[in-house]
Structure 1
Amino acid sequence: MTPYVLLGIAIASEVFAEAMMKLSNGFENKKPIIGIIAGYLVAFYLMAQTLNDLPLGFVYAVWTGAGVALTALIGAAFWHEGFNAKKALGIVAIIAGVVLLKLGV
């Protein structure tokens, strides 16, 4: 698999873990904790694999930026946390930052 595909799966795994964290209700619900642990284990393992082929700064920027953007979208879609122009602009700024990092590689 290409490092970009692995990075995409790592991002999805991280976002899954974060969604499970929300479902755990402050760790009061125990079942989602399994998803948190599994999601982060997969995310960190795959992120480490991408570092064999891609620069650390770029990988971390994409991983965190996409994670923040997707988590905000999931929060808005599933937990009605709201989504407005300021949040959309923030996501655009994250994407722009990642593109600039990639152009600098």
Structure 2
Amino acid sequence: MIAWLALGSAVALETVATLTLRALSREVRLLPLLLVIAGYAGAFALMTVALRSLNVGTVYAIWSGVGTAAVAIIAALVYGESLTLASVSGIALIIAGVVVLSLTGAHHA
């Protein structure tokens, strides 16, 4: 259970850090820069906790897949970025793939 909470928190921190990069793309400011650095550092630290009991393939698939889907959806809502039928279909495939991978053996043997 701790591993899954750590992984979920890692995804959340990585999502916040990635979305904060948008603010840095306009103007480099100290607070957003620190948030990006802390977000990615925290995400990687929490991933190491998850890797104590979950397979690396599962952790990475969930971290990258769910993070990518979350960033795409939140960016559409917050920044008005477009979501096409193809991108929504891709997000659905990512989620389906993560579910299948998780169900087929997420824990170390």
Residue in structure 1 matched with residue 90 of structure 2 by the alignment: 90
Residue in structure 2 matched with residue 30 of structure 1 by the alignment: 29
Tell me, in whole angstroms, the C-alpha distance in 2 between the residues paired with 1:46 and 1:2: 10
Structure 2: gaps (5+ residues): none
Residue in structure 2 matched with residue 72 of structure 1 by the alignment: 72
Q: CA deviation at 1:84?
A: 2.6
* TM-score (structure 1 length as normaliser): 0.92
Residue in structure 1 matched with residue 6 of structure 2 by the alignment: 6
Identity of aligned residues (%): 39
Tell me, in whole angstroms, the C-alpha distance in 1 between the residues paired with 2:19 and 2:88: 20
Q: How does 1:43-82 map to 2 (within 5 A)?
A: 43-82=43-82
Tell me, in whole angstroms, the C-alpha distance in 2 between the residues paired with 1:101 and 1:9: 19
* TM-score (structure 2 length as normaliser): 0.89
Structure 1 segments of 4+ aligned residues over 4 angstroms from their partners: none
Q: Number of residues paired by the alignment?
A: 104
Tell me, in whole angstroms, the C-alpha distance in 2 between the residues paired with 1:78 and 1:102: 29
Structure 1: gaps (5+ residues): none
Q: Give the 3-state SS of the residue equivalent to 1:82 in structure 2.
A: coil
Paired letter, 2:29: K
Tell me, in whole angstroms, the C-alpha distance in 1 between the residues paired with 2:102 and 2:11: 17
Paired letter, 2:28: N
Q: CA deviation at 1:81?
A: 0.5
Tell me, in whole angstroms, the C-alpha distance in 2 between the residues paired with 1:70 and 1:85: 16
Q: CA deviation at 1:83?
A: 1.6
